Chain A
């Protein structure tokens, strides 16, 4: 069964500094990968996704992520963060299947942007 690890539970970073949120996964088959953002008391919003093709994926709000199959990683990056980026970030994986696509989430990383 697939699983997702986000090693950093909390990441504080100063405004306008770069940030990287780490995500590693395990699966015995090919996967699709996602990053979601959650603002307080709201549902999750998709930031970006990797289905196939280029391993560098660009998403909304200036975020990007790179799929590394050999390291089974999908780290999220932003070159310059803003106060409004303060939120919870979830990495997720879905195994490539023909029947259904159950999405499994990591435990989340809380990003705090310090002014």
Chain B
């Protein structure tokens, strides 16, 4: 059975303190791995898609990487506005059915 596990469940950072979030997956045939950001009371907002092991993508203070078993979301020198829940999801079929992890709640304090 396909599984997506995110760790840690929660992360509290000081402003400027870099850290990484983990998304490990056990699936039969990865078609894509997606990272989303979700603010309280809102829908998930797309960040990155990774398709193959070794791929990396960056956006401002965020960098996503992918191996054959896991993905990392690195947050470099975070700011309070980076506080959110970060979700990863995997796609294993040809039409967009996503399986989500439970998310990592990140709080960045000034």
Q: A and B, one complex? A: no
Report B's interface with A, CB cutoff 8 A.
none
